[in-house]
Amino acid sequence: MDNPVLSAISTTFATISQGIQAVPGGGIAINYIKNSYQNDPFRVVLELGLAIYAVKYMLSKKYRIDQNDVQLTEKEIDELVAEWQPEPLVQSLSDIQRMELEKSQVIVGAQGPKPKVLSSSKNLLNLASANFLGYITNEDIKQTAIETLHKYGVGSCGPPGFYGTLDVHIELEKDIARFLGTESAIIYAQGFSTIASVISAFSKRGDIIVADDGCNFAILKGTQISRSVIKWYKHNDMSDLERVLESIRVETLAHKKRPLTRRFIVTEGLFQNYGDIAPLDKIIELKNKYKYRVILDESSSFGVLGKTGRGLTEVFNIPAKEVDMIVGSMANTLAAAGGFCAGPKEVVDHQRLSGQAFVFSASIPAMLTVCASEAIKILSTPQGAKLLKDLQENAAAFRNVVQSAPQWIELSSAAESPVLHLRFPQAALSTAGIQTRDDEKLLLQEIVDEVLTMWPTEILTRMFTLGFRVVPQVAIKDGLLITRAKYVEQQELYLPRPSIRISICATHTKKEVEKAAQAIKAAFGKALSRRK
């Protein structure tokens, strides 16, 4: 060689190679190295560096971790132990959190339209549970659940993809798909994790999600764990949704070299935090215009909205196949457990391997599965039609009463909604000197406590004092079980204003609902009058 440096290196490596070959098995090692590294110089550099580091580590000076420890006497150790104060496992409760724990009601016995509570041992009219159609106390569903319990036992004890799938699970998936008019459906074991799992199964890092900022907490968690690019539009504002979609389109055109991404519009059917419904017709129009997929969460609207309870697609007369994924909870209207996702077969099959809440959770107990199937079947019968009609009439009756006092009560819920959020108007709060969120929550809690223990004479006296024309029939025999809407406030991105959330039930009588609305309206007025 002309270059003496290269010649020296070559000679050195040749000498080393000869030395290695002299060792038994050395020739095999040399051939392996030549074949492995001849076309991969990066691998040579990396492994050579690791080899040098390993040799240096083994030859470095060893040391003891405790070589500089200070020797303490027994007395000093005892003093340090006595002075040590452990850090609390959780933060101290705030005044609001302590109040919420103290005010929580415990139901004694079975759930239902009029459960008994531990604090008063009275049966209260239940307006706090999402038992919209009264399925919790349906005798046919109960009997079916008991028979299934005797046949299958309590739990499946396994995930669906292993040995947790039973024939009743397959039948329920078929029932849901048939009821909604979709090609296929999949069921999950937990209602809350269903929407989060569906979102993260399809939308990955770099994909784009455009979501309504009024969506529930489960949707928020789903968008976060997907690690996608999240864009929020103002609640139910289609102009703002189109603005967001157009801005994404313009940005994409300006960066043509970016890889193609999947894009989704995520919204609720009936908003859990507001009680209003999404304009699905406008959303589908924008979906088709900008080429997005729609994920629709019908957890609160499935079995409730529409002539036969098929949800928002039925309300707007839109074929279910126009929505890419319809997600819902079976723990609300169906009085069972778990959730579902309905859509095209390929969408459903993808979740059987990629839906984390499906793959890593034990399947729904068989008795709850048949409860959901039986509840869906009832919706298709005259009994189901009557329940839906009664639910709408009860919701309208309650709404008519509370809307007669706009100076005390602000109502954001849609006319079709059995979920009603009652809030104080901002003007009324300013007049009463309520300035902070905590003060507003305390004022709403006064209403919850007020109607919990009302007696007929007290209601009549208070309503008469507030200027109502009352008759003895307006009084309710026992109290009302209602609740404030609760949120994980530290984690909410768009925290709704404090409210009392009312859940209407079809099995209450119209008179009971009207009396309850009158009592709540009176309590709103009384709470404000005490602040003047």
Task: Please report the pLDDT score of residue 56 as a whole number.
Answer: 86
| Euclidean distance between CA atoms 197 and 219, whole angstroms | 10
Are 415 and 396 within 8 A, CB to CB?
yes
CA distance readout (Å), 398 to 269, 402, 461, 516: 22, 7, 21, 8
Q: So what's the pLDDT on residue 319? A: 95
Distance CA 102, CA 172 (A): 40
Would you say 340 and 187 are in contact if contact means Cβ atoms under 8 Å apart? yes
Q: What is the pLDDT of residue 477?
A: 53
**What pLDDT, on the 0 to 100 scale, is given for residue 67?**
60
Strands 419-423 and 410-411: antiparallel
- In this prediction, residues 306-312 reach a mean pLDDT of 94
- Tokens encoding 191: 């209602």
**Which of 154-163, 378-387, 519-528 has the least mean pLDDT?**
154-163
Say if residue 180's pLDDT is above 70.
yes
Q: Which residue has the tokens 């070559």?
A: 10
Nearest to 281 by CA among 253, 325, 315, 240: 315
Q: How would you classify the pairing of strands 325-329 and 293-297?
A: parallel
Q: Which of 84-93, 237-246, 250-259 has the highest mean pLDDT?
A: 237-246
Report how far Cα 228 is from the mean position of its chain's Cα atoms. Answer: 17
**pTM for this model (two decimals):** 0.81
pLDDT band at 39 (very low <50, low <70, confident <90, very high): low
62-66, 308-312, 439-443, 463-467, range with the lowest pLDDT: 463-467
Q: Are strands 208-212 and 229-233 parallel, antiparallel or unpaired?
A: parallel
Q: Is 531 helix (H, G, I), strand (E, B) or coil?
A: coil
pLDDT of 146 over the 60 cut: yes
Dist. CA 88–CA 22, nearest whole Å: 66
Contact call for residues 341 and 327 (beta carbons, < 8 A): yes
Q: How confident is the model at residue 254 (pLDDT cuts 50, 70, 90)?
A: confident
3-state secondary structure of 45: helix
Confidence of residue 316 (pLDDT cuts 50, 70, 90): very high
User: What single-letter amino acid sits at 504?
Assistant: I
